[in-house]
Amino acid sequence: MFNLFKKVLGKTNEAIKEVAPIKKKEISKEEFEEILLEADVNYELIDRLLESLPSTINRIQAFNSLISVFQYKADFKENDAKPYVEMIIGVNGAGKTTTISKLAYRYKEAGKSVILGAGDTFRAAAIEQLSRWAAKLDIPIVATKQGHDPSAVVYDTIESAKAKGIDHVIIDTAGRLHTQTNLAEELKKMIRVAQKALPGAPHRKMLILDGTQGSSSINQAKAFNEMIGIDGIIITKLDGTAKGGSVLSIADELQMPIFYIGTGEQPKDLIRFKANDYVNTILDGIFS
């Protein structure tokens, strides 16, 4: 796990080494500030993190400061619903479809059955991509043509899962329609239909955030949360950016559970987010 975090945060740690090239046992407050800015941590958060720190900082003090960002109440529990229904939310290009394949692979590896619902009927490419992943992973999918009602896909997917005794339902959603109002209304309707098909569904609404967007992805998250309420976050593409510190800003601003981090393009490339491992990997780039 630790080595995987090193892989994911490789570019972030390279950027950190440029502003803190010599590893020491202690660094100054000013050096720590520059390092956090380089890693794309929000400036207001940096100010708060530095407040309680002495002028010279050791690794333990830095760890305690950064880990404090994650000390909010986060609900990681799954209930025992069968099927367990998840809706995957996020803007186009964030990696929704690939992340769905990773979740499906993870559940299948754990011995659970999975069905996909191609609810992004706004884009033909999204339906095709998800259908290809379903074929590759040898799992069923409910899909329709571009322009069809996505709520019908939600209903049919859940009904199919109930009839076949499937454990997990993962439903894709559109990332962008003509206006934000259209998107909000479509997502709300999909949720209502899910509840009609199975009381309590969707059990989890997961937001996909593109790690290369850094702290700017926070505004996306706030918009989706206002629309429908988000239950948790998956961060993608962190391995391709030096903005790994944005995870701190995302956690601080949104106070939501971060469930997983994407580590590559393949279905197996998804790891559970562990705050301790994340913080220690950042600090490995700073301290001897």
More confident residue, 3 or 68: 68
115 — pLDDT class (breaks 50, 70, 90): very high
**Dihedral sign of CA atoms 130, 135, 136, 140 in order:** positive
pLDDT at 95 over 80: yes
Q: Hey, which residues does 138 pair with through a beta bridge?
A: none
Sheet holding 258-262, edge to edge: 141-142, 114-117, 168-172, 84-89, 204-210, 232-236, 258-262, 270-272
Q: What is the pLDDT of residue 24?
A: 84
- Residue range 214-258, pLDDT digits in tens: 666 888 899 899 999 999 999 998 888 888 888 999 999 999 999
CA distance 130 to 117: 9
- Residue range 163-173, pLDDT digits in tens: 999 999 999 99
105-110 contacts at long range (C-beta below 8 A, 24 or more positions apart): 105/137, 105/267, 105/268, 105/270, 106/270, 107/167, 107/168, 108/137, 108/139
* 85 Cβ contact list (under 8 Å, min separation 6): 158, 161, 169, 171, 194, 198, 201, 202, 203, 204
- Written as six digits, the tokens of 225 are 């949360």
What is the average pLDDT score of the chain?
92
Does the model's pTM come out above 0.75?
yes
Q: What is the pLDDT of residue 8?
A: 83
CA distance 105 to 215: 29
**Dihedral sign of CA atoms 251, 185, 94, 101 in order:** positive
